[in-house]
């Protein structure tokens, strides 16, 4: 995924919540904000805080599947959920504040299941959502739920 396209996908997540990737949606985003982007400072703040967050935890996970673009997108949606900024989400997961070490441990568990293609274990839905149609809303939703659980100590 190209960097500008990836950032556009993250902005769409801020704008609309979890959606399937589509070129028309990206083009619509560019048209919508081409001249006036009143929320630019807020969106920039959210993106910078997310990149600071992942920079602090992904240093420990950079050799894992957690760094795949489709997982990072879902991690961003999980980040938005925790901040009560994910639109149209139907997750009912309590936000327990946990340490970065615990977050890394939880994300490592998901990465291990993904890397082992463990489609029979406890995280089979997560693994399956990483196997095909990774940019479709249903798969993004499943991954986001597991990542919310990993970030909140509910894994």
Averaged pLDDT, 36-45:
90
* Calculated CA dihedral for residues 77, 127, 21, 136, nearest 10 degrees: -110
- Percent of the chain that is helix, strand, coil (3-state, to 5): 65, 0, 35
What span, in angstroms and rounded, lies between the C-alpha atoms of 9 and 47?
12
**Domain range enclosing 88:** 3-152
Averaged pLDDT, 126-153:
96
Output the pTM of the full model: 0.93
Q: Quote the mean pLDDT of the chain.
A: 93
Domain total in the chain: 1
90 confidence band (pLDDT: 50, 70, 90): confident
CB-CB contact of 122 with 132 (8 Å): no
Nearest CA to 60 out of 119, 126, 8, 107 is that of: 107
DSSP string across 53-104: HHHHHHTTTTTSGGGSHHHHHHHHHHHHHHTT--TT-----------HHHHH
Per residue in 3-34, pLDDT tens? 889 999 999 999 999 999 999 988 988 888 88
Averaged pLDDT, 36-44:
90
């Amino acid at each position: 995924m190209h960097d500008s396209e990836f950032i556009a996908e993250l902005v769409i997540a801020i704008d609309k919540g979890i959606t399937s990737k589509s070129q028309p949606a990206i083009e619509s985003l560019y048209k919508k904000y081409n001249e006036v982007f009143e929320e630019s400072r807020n969106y920039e703040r959210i993106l910078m805080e997310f990149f600071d967050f992942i920079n602090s935890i992904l240093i420990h996970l950079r050799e894992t599947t957690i760094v795949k673009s489709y997982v990072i997108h879902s991690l961003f949606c999980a980040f938005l959920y925790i901040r009560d900024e994910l639109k149209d989400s139907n997750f009912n997961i309590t936000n327990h504040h946990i340490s970065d070490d615990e977050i890394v441990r939880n994300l490592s568990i998901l990465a291990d299941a993904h890397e082992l293609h463990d489609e029979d274990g406890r995280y089979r839905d997560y693994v399956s959502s990483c196997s095909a149609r990774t940019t479709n809303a249903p798969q993004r939703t499943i991954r986001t739920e597991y990542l919310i659980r990993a970030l909140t100590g509910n894994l």
